[in-house]
Amino acid sequence: MTDVVSRAHPYMANSTDEARKHMLNAIGIQDVDELFEQIPPGHRTGHRFDLPDALTSEVSLKRHLTGVLGKNENCESYLSFLGGGIWQHHVPAICDEVWARSEFLTSVWGTAASDLGRNQAWFEYASQLGELIGMEFVGLPVYSWGAAVGHSFRMAARITGRRQVVLSSLMDPEREAVAKTYCGFAEQEGHIELIHVDHDPATGRLDLADLERKITDETAAVYFENPSYLGIIEDQGSRIAAMARNKGAETIVGVDPISLGVIAPPSDYGADITIGTTQPLGVHMNGGGGVGGFIATRDEERYAREYPTLQVSLADTIVPGERGFGMTLFGQSSYGSREDGNDWTGNSVYLWAIANAVYMSVMGPAGFEEVGKSILQRSRYAARQISSLPGVSVRWGAGFFKEFVVDFNATGRTVAEMNAALRDKQVFGGGDLSQDFPSFGQAALYCVTEIHTLDDIDYLVDSIGEVLAR
Amino acid sequence: MSGLRKYHAAVWDEPLVMELGATGRRGIVFPETEQAIVDAVGDAIELVPESVRRSGPANLPELSEPDVLRHYLHLSQETLGMMGISLFGTCTMKYNARVTESLVRLPHVAETHPAQDVQTQQGTLEIIYGLDRMLCELSGMDQFVFQPGGGADAAFLHATLTRAYHHARGELSQRREIITTAQAHPCNSATASAAGFDVITLPMEEKGYASVEALRSVVSERTAALMVNNPDDMGIYNPDIKEWVDIVHAAGGLCFYDHANFNGVMGRIRAAELGFDACMFMLHKTFGAPKAGGGPAVGAYGCREHLAEFLTTPVVDKDDEGYTVKVNRSAGTTQVREYMGNIPVVVKAYSWLRAMGADGVKEAADLSMLANNYMERRLLQIPGVTKALPHLEQHRMEMTRYSLADLTEETGVTTLDVQNRMVDFGVDAYWLAHEPWLIPEPFTPEAGEMWSIEDLDYWVDVIAQICEEARTTPELVTTAPHNQAIHRLDGSGLDDPGRWATTWRAYQRKNPDASAGTAG
Ligand SMILES: Cc1ncc(COP(=O)(O)O)c(C=O)c1O
């Protein structure tokens, strides 16, 4: 008789002497070590594992985690104007309520019948996103916008048999770095070459004359974003797409879907492949972990057969009139065809697709229009007020959505100095562009969304003013 | 077998959300823009250049908030997940502690932005650093990063790092081949190919793995890397793996250990001691983060010192001031995703390791080995069930692959039929095997450490019951499921361009006069 009170680990039902004995007996061995007989002695480690002491009790574990995570500040404890690829939007409480349901949280693969609800939610994600962006064929999400860019370039290369992509020189360097990883090195056979197009310094939009020079018979695709990384609304989409089409190239457009209640979907101006981010659709920033990406096209085999993703399709069951959902074109994925499949797939951000579906359902057409208008007005107001400060200007003061570039060059201050001083006022200033876009000098990318009130914006402007006055 | 539960799934006969609602209903409204803002900037739509204004409202459903909630709650109830017993092989189904689930939903994780000043992210960085240290301890690697968004993405990171490594040495044009095995997860060969390499796949041999001779015959000055998992999904451990690593190293290649099947060997072997240059752990599997139907996930990628310089992903370090982040974009093209990783998943894995400690980790490994071998004893007593490669007598690791070929031959009932029938008992469908199947009619349970003996027994009882039914009432099995929200899928249209429909608008176009059926 040992301890009366068992200290079995709460996560493991068989963590009792009795259970272990029961299994050992049934297997017919004395010692669990016998089960490891396949591992040669020379492979087994003699290492004494030095891990922190176990916090087996939830009481201690929670205390510890709360203590550590409490060292973070966040965009609710501070007033934040950070954006640039991941944004603070309002996440309706029911988005979290739904994805956090244990059924969705713990599902793994299942069957069409037993995980019907999850599959239907995925289909509703694709269907609603398809309505928003004007596309009929939508894959399940990929890891991020950057991953979607990379996959879409590879799709275009396969479709056209060409190996160059022409894209804006003002792309998010983080996103472009991911895309480049998908394109390989020059000495490799399948390498995709990225060719930058200048922008019009006066408007921030693509320089069409330069684009004309850069699109050739080698061009697989032209890629631009709307709104762009720096917030600019690109209004030359139809002409860009026409130029691409003339040379037999695909037009790929990256969008922030929260803008689509007020801005036309890329299908309206000629996009062949529409990609973008899913994070603004009801997913928290999660320190950068909230990202997700989508790929969508017209429902044509030319495109459908080049998808790397899994996609869920409405299907019949063996009972007439009954609906279910199954994976279409599974065989062309890496699950189906290993290295002969399109790129690869795996665990992605499918739970966020459920949050996205809930988000689009609560928003409806009016919600998207309202949030778009709210962002347009609030961000324009913020830009206007900020540019009224002495020495501060906004690089492109019109024709932007949600984000704009604030120019501090004439103030003699660096963005780093400004942001450090703003932090003392509980404000996260806009993202520092001085490293990534040295030609801009001291400039910052400010983001204003539907969560920012008049008072928030005025507080920001007053704070910048006070810092500058020092 | 009378002891089985009388289970039936919830049947909500739930329409698509696009079929619900009515004009004018709202699920959310936003604050009206303050008058001072409107006065300053004017009408919102005027702020969009005319040629790119949205021309009409999106065709989205219009529902009240409670109607949306109830719709998705119905869908959640029509999802089995881990409400029953899920022994989904290769995915290490384990408990996802709800304490961490609740903590990551708070603003100190959820509402953090990756571009916040590092001084305001010290909590997150401490967790990343702490998890990095613990995983280095478990594997013997020198540096972990968490940027990859899944196991396959970590394999991709390795393939791109292999590329950067050989590029830096001027050997990339020559080193064009990555070697893997038929038992390796498809993501290894697929990401190697996507990174521009030719793939050589070693076939399985009689001992359950490829021979050293087979490896030698393909290794050359063209070899860029080896990418393998061990044990494989059949529960077979390749005892020659150290020699493999030596052979590939001698030829100048890198060795990557896909450590997705880590659960049984935790605390027993260390990837670096076996000679590997790099390894990958799945945080959404071995380290207690939920499956979530397919992510958010993290493939934690660890490498030895000599490869760390090729990482483009942010690396967390510590100095006197606190935790720091180093970004090295010039290192080579190895950035596989934006930012530092799925932070909530990293927190969950950190939390799991803290809850387990070194002893708990080892105990979990032992229990998963015990549970698998315990189940195997019972499963092999069921007529019709055999073990893959039955001539291999040593105990399998944390998984065993089985075959129902005998049952199929005798009754016509296939492993897919059995899979569809088991959900009638509230048991999640089992994993079959990756393509291509190396043995006929496969299935692969993985017991893990969470499930009780009673659960394991119930699972085996269900298989026994179904095998019995296959003999007595086969049509009951071949037409299953019967107790689910819907019946068996007719997948005949899934690859037909005229019939597939990944969106409702595509379905409506392809079925103009289909009187909308209903789910269920
Ligand atoms: C052995 C092995 N490697 C890699 C993976 C791929 O992981 P993911 O689906 O997260 O991309 C898996 C998936 O379960 C696996 O079992």
B280/B419 same-domain check: no
**Percent of chain A surpassing pLDDT 70:** 99
One domain, residues A251 and A372:
no
A54/B356 touch (CB, cutoff 8 Å), yes or no = yes
| pLDDT at position A119 | 98
CA A217 to chain centre: 32
For residue B85, tell me if it sits in a domain. no
Distance, in angstroms, between A217 CA and closest chain B CA?
23
Nearest CA to ligand 1 atom 16: B90
| Confidence class for position B2, pLDDT limits 50, 70, 90 | low
Are A382 and A324 within one domain?
no
Look at residues A359, A375, A391 and tell me which one is the last residue of a structural domain.
A359
CATH number for position A440:
3.90.1150.10
Residue A2, pLDDT score: 54
Helix ranges, B231-285 (H): 241-250
Domain assignment of residue A348, yes or no: yes
Interchain CB distance below 8 Å, B34 and A454: yes
| Residue whose structure tokens are 């040629």 | B51
Residue A73 lies inside a defined structural domain of this protein: no
State how far the Cα of B401 lies from the Cα of B387, in Å rounded to an integer: 6
DSSP 3-state of A96: helix
Where in the sequence is the domain holding A30, given as residue range(s)?
1-42
CATH number, domain with residue B370? 3.90.1150.10
Contact across the interface for A191 and B196, Cβ inside 8 Å: yes
* Cα distance between residue B72 and residue B55, in whole Å: 30
Show the 3-state SS of B285-311: CCCCCCCCCCCCCCEEEEECHHHHCCC
Chain A residues within an 8 Å CB radius of B503: 123, 126-127, 130-131, 135-138, 299
Question: Which CA distances in Å does A427 have to A73, A430, A445, B120, B188?
Answer: 11, 9, 14, 11, 45
- B215 plus B315 within the same structural domain: yes
Alpha helical stretches, state H, A144-292: 145-160, 173-183, 208-214, 237-246
Residue A55 lies in a domain: no
Closest Cβ–Cβ partner in B88, B112, B354 for A285: B112
**C-alpha B324 chain-centroid distance:** 30
Percent of chain B with pLDDT over 90: 95
Residue B189 and residue B140 in one domain: yes
Cα separation, B198 vs B224, in Å, equals 10
Residue B123: inside a domain: yes
- The tens digit of pLDDT for each residue in B230-265 reads 999 999 999 999 999 999 999 999 999 999 999 999
Considering only CB atoms, A107 lies closest to which of B68, B79, B107, namely B79
Specify the amino acid at residue B395: H
Digit-coded pLDDT (tens) for A127-165 = 999 999 999 999 999 999 999 999 999 999 999 999 999
Pair B503, B445: CB distance under 8 Å: no
| Whether residue A26 is found in the same domain as residue A102 | no
B197 pLDDT above the threshold of 60:
yes
CB pairs under 8 A between A and B: 757
* B4 in a structural domain: no
| Nearest chain B residue (CA) to A125 | B503
For chain B, the domain total comes to 3
Is A428 in contact with B113 (Cβ distance < 8 A)? yes
Q: Which amino acid is at B124?
A: T
Q: Hey, are the CB atoms on A11 and B97 less than 8 Å from each other?
A: yes
- B203 in contact with A, Cβ within 8 Å: no
- Does A124 share its domain with A13? no
B483 burial via Cβ count (<10 Å: 0-12, 13-18, 19+): middle
Chain-centre distance for alpha carbon B477: 29
- Asked if the Cβ–Cβ distance from A338 to B121 is below 8 Å, we say no
Q: Which residues pair with A317 in a beta bridge?
A: B489
Q: Which of B295, B324, B355 is the last residue of a domain?
A: B355
Residue among B265, B299, B301 at smallest CA distance from B282 = B299
Q: What is the mean pLDDT of residues B446-452?
A: 97
Alpha carbon of B229: minimum distance to chain A alpha carbons (Å): 14
Does the CB of B479 have a partner CB in chain A at under 8 Å?
A: yes
Same domain, A349 and A426: no
CA distance linking residue A183 with residue B329, whole number of Å: 16
Are B498 and B467 found together in one domain?
A: no
| A3 Cβ under 8 Å from any chain B Cβ | no
Mind listing the pLDDT tens digit for each residue in B13-61? 999 999 999 999 999 999 999 999 999 999 999 999 999 999 999 999 9
Residue B413 placed within a domain: yes
- B254 φ, ψ (degrees, to nearest 5): -95, 155
Asked whether the predicted pLDDT for residue B404 surpasses 80, the reply is yes
Do A258 and A166 sit in the same domain of this protein? yes
Instruction: Verify that A182 and A205 share a domain, yes or no.
Output: yes
State how far the Cα of B444 lies from the Cα of B90, in Å rounded to an integer.
8
Who's near B70: CB < 8 A, 6+ residues apart? none
Q: Which of residues 16-55 of A touch B (CB under 8 A)?
A: 19-20, 22-24, 26-28, 32, 34-40, 42-45, 47, 49-55
Residue B95 to residue A32: CA distance in whole angstroms: 23
Contact B97, A57 (CB under 8 A): no
Domain that residue B22 falls in: 15-79+492-520
CA of B118 to the centre of ligand 1 (A): 32
Distance between CA atoms of A170 and A229, rounded to whole angstroms? 7
Q: Hey, how many other C-beta atoms are within 10 angstroms of the C-beta on A315?
A: 23
Find chain A residues with C-beta within 8 A of B506's C-beta: 130, 136-137, 299
Q: Smallest CA–CA separation between B48 and chain A, in Å?
A: 6
Chain-centroid distance of CA B28 in Å reads 34
Number of domains in chain A: 3
End-to-end alpha carbon distance in chain A: 74
A56 belongs to a structural domain: no
d(CA A353, CA A348): 10
Residue B332 and residue B196 share a domain: yes
Q: Are residues A244 and A375 in the same domain?
A: no
What are the E-state strand segments in A31-147?
Answer: 79-80, 137-138
The reply to whether B395 falls in a domain is yes
How far is C-alpha B202 from the geometric centre of its chain's CA atoms?
Answer: 24
The single-letter code of the amino acid at B2 is S
CB contacts of A112 in chain B (<8 Å) are 486, 488-489
Tell me the C-alpha distance between B165 and B372, whole Å: 40
**B283 close to B348: Cβ distance less than 8 angstroms:** yes
Domain contains B211: yes
In DSSP notation, A259-290 reads GTTTBPPGGGGT-SEEEEE-TTTT---GGGTT
Identify whether residues A197 and A286 lie together within a single domain.
yes
| Of the candidates B410, B417, B412, B401, the residue with the CA atom closest to the CA atom of residue B383 | B410
**What is the average per-residue pLDDT within B418-431?**
98
B3 belongs to a structural domain: no
Same-domain check for residues A331 and A429:
no
CB A291 within 8 A of CB A145: yes
Find the B282 Cα to ligand 1 centroid distance in Å: 7
Rounded to whole angstroms, how far apart are CA atoms B96 and B90?
Answer: 17
d(CA B365, nearest CA chain A) in Å: 10
CB contact under 8 A, A24 and B112: no
Q: Which of A35, A177, A184 sits opposite B373 (nearest CB)?
A: A35
Q: What is the CATH number of the domain that holds B220?
A: 3.40.640.10
Region of residue A167 (phi > 0: left; psi between -120 and 50: alpha; otherwise: beta): beta
CA–CA gap between residue B268 and residue A178 (Å, rounded): 36
Determine if the pTM surpasses 0.95: yes
**Bond prior to A227 in cis (omega within 30° of 0):** yes
Rounded to the nearest whole angstrom, what is the distance from the C-alpha of residue B152 to the centroid of ligand 1? 6
- Minimum-distance CB partner of A35 among B114, B340, B395: B395
- Domain final position from A296, A327, A359: A359
Q: Tell me: pLDDT of A419 over 80.
A: yes
| Cβ count near A253 (within 10 Å) | 26
Name the residue with the closest Cα to ligand 1, atom 6: B151
Q: Which of B88, B93, B183, B185 to mutate to test the pocket of ligand 1 (most atoms within 8 A of CB)?
A: B185
Q: Are A278 and A293 in contact (CB under 8 A)?
A: yes
- Among residues B355, B388, B410, the one where a domain terminates is B355
Closest Cα partner for B284 from B96, B86, B82, B79? B96
**pLDDT band (50, 70, 90) for residue B84:** very high
| Same-domain status, A332 and A409 | no
| pLDDT of residue B520 exceeding 90 | no
Phi, psi for residue A324 in degrees, rounded to 5: -145, -170
**Which residues 49-78 of chain B have a CB within 8 Å of chain A?**
49, 51-55, 57-63, 65, 68-69, 71-78
Q: Are residues B185 and B333 in the same domain?
A: yes
Domain finish residue from A335, A359, A383: A359
Please give the Cα distance from B302 to A451 (Å, whole number). Answer: 39
Cα–Cα dist A286/B107, whole Å: 9
Q: Is B82–A117 a contact, with Cβ atoms under 8 angstroms apart?
A: no
Q: Which helix (H) or strand (E) holds A327?
A: strand A322-328
Instruction: Give the mean pLDDT of A325-341.
Output: 95
Residue B448 Cα to ligand 1 middle (Å):
16
State whether A208 and A178 are in the same domain: yes
Query: Residue B61, CB half-sphere, CA atoms under 13 Å: how many?
Result: 26
Q: Would you give the DSSP letter of residue B158?
A: H
Kindly determine whether residue A187 and residue B173, on different chains, have CB atoms separated by under 8 Å: yes
d(C-alpha A115, C-alpha A51), whole Å: 38
pLDDT confidence of residue B514: 67
Q: Distance from the CA of B467 to the center of ligand 1, in angstroms?
A: 30
Cα separation of A212 and A379, whole Å? 33
- CA distances from residue A100 to A105, A165, A216, B98, B149 in whole angstroms, order as listed: 6, 40, 49, 10, 19
Residue A130 CA to chain centroid, in angstroms?
Answer: 17
Question: Does position B517 have pLDDT exceeding 50, yes or no?
Answer: no
Is 50 exceeded by the pLDDT of residue B1? Answer: no
A447 CB burial (10 A radius; 0-12, 13-18, 19+): buried
Evaluate whether residue B96 is within a structural domain: no
